[in-house]
Amino acid sequence: MSRISHVLDTSAILAHYFNEPGAGIIEGLWSDESSRIAISTITITELKGRLRQEITDDAEAMNAADAYLCELTICLPVDRATAELAWQLRQATPHRLPLVDALIAATARAADAVLVHKDPHMSQIPAGLVRQLTLSGE
């Protein structure tokens, strides 16, 4: 089995769902047979919550979340080592890095995968600690 190539942050999934800038990059990753995409377990809760905030129909929001979670079948755990990495990332980042984002970034780091996101505060993580692909205009 090949290693994980990319870990999608919740912001990347939402960019795809709402067809925001960067959505095509996510499409490209999905269609690239050499890509092996994963999410953090943390993303499940965050995705459902964010879709529920953005979509007024709760059933539609949960259907959208379930559709993505059926596609994103590789779900990486947050264990003690990942939590320790998240702590290190938060300490090394000069600006505030929310806990959820630190855990997701640490999940990518633990898997030696590229973190795909759209969050400016993730870009504040010092270079070399987590490989990143920041979504922006295509």
Q: Is residue 121 part of a domain?
A: yes
What's the confidence (pLDDT) of residue 137? 55
Query: Which of 6-10, 102-106, 123-127, 134-138 is predicted with the least confidence, judged by mean pLDDT?
Result: 134-138
Q: What is the CATH number of the domain that holds 68?
A: 3.40.50.1010
E runs forming strands in the chain: 6-8, 37-40, 75-76, 114-117, 132-134
Domain range enclosing 65: 6-134
Q: Cα dist. 71→75, 126, 131 in Å?
A: 11, 31, 23
What is the number of residues in the chain?
138
Which contiguous run of DSSP H or E holds residue 106? helix 99-110
What's the confidence (pLDDT) of residue 136? 80
pTM (2 d.p.):
0.93
Q: Is residue 1 part of a domain?
A: no
What's the confidence (pLDDT) of residue 35? 94
Number of domains in the chain: 1
